[in-house]
Amino acid sequence: MAEQHGAWHGAAQPPAGWLPGRPPPPRGLPPGPPPRPVYREPHPVGAGPLLAGAGATLVWFTLFGSLGRDLLGYAWWTIAAAISAWVVAAVLAVLGDRGTATGVALVAAVGLSIAASVIAVRWITTNDWPLW
């Protein structure tokens, strides 16, 4: 008769705490905890795609930011670049590479934060809202 692994042999019930495929605990010791589950990402984010998305977005923001001739133009072009980058990141997250989408979204957030900081500094120093 062929040896079978992972099943309890015989008519008797398995001992309490017995799990298929796991050896029984040693005699005299309490049974240990059940094995911990292992959660794995089905599509892990790699460093290469993340850096590629970050680099592409950095170039994207540089090109859009250079179109503005003053703070008003720079701010609105940066807002347009951020919105379009977030749309691209959403599409990439659903249909493409999530690592690239993460890089795009991170750099877009940093770029928009820099523009918002420059606008806030101008607003605080001159008491004039620069976007209108």
Global pTM reads: 0.67
Which three-class secondary structure state does DSSP give residue 29?
A: coil
Are 88 and 104 spatial neighbours (Cβ–Cβ below 8 Å)?
A: yes
In the chain, where are the structural domains located? Answer: 47-126
Return the structure tokens found at 108.
């877009």
- HSE toward the beta carbon, residue 54, CA cutoff 13 A: 12
Are 71 and 118 spatial neighbours (Cβ–Cβ below 8 Å)?
A: yes
110 has pLDDT over 70? yes
Q: pLDDT per residue over 10-36, tens digit each?
A: 666 766 666 666 666 677 777 777 777
C-alpha 59: how far from its chain's center?
21
* Phi (first) and psi of residue 44, to 5 degrees: -65, 150
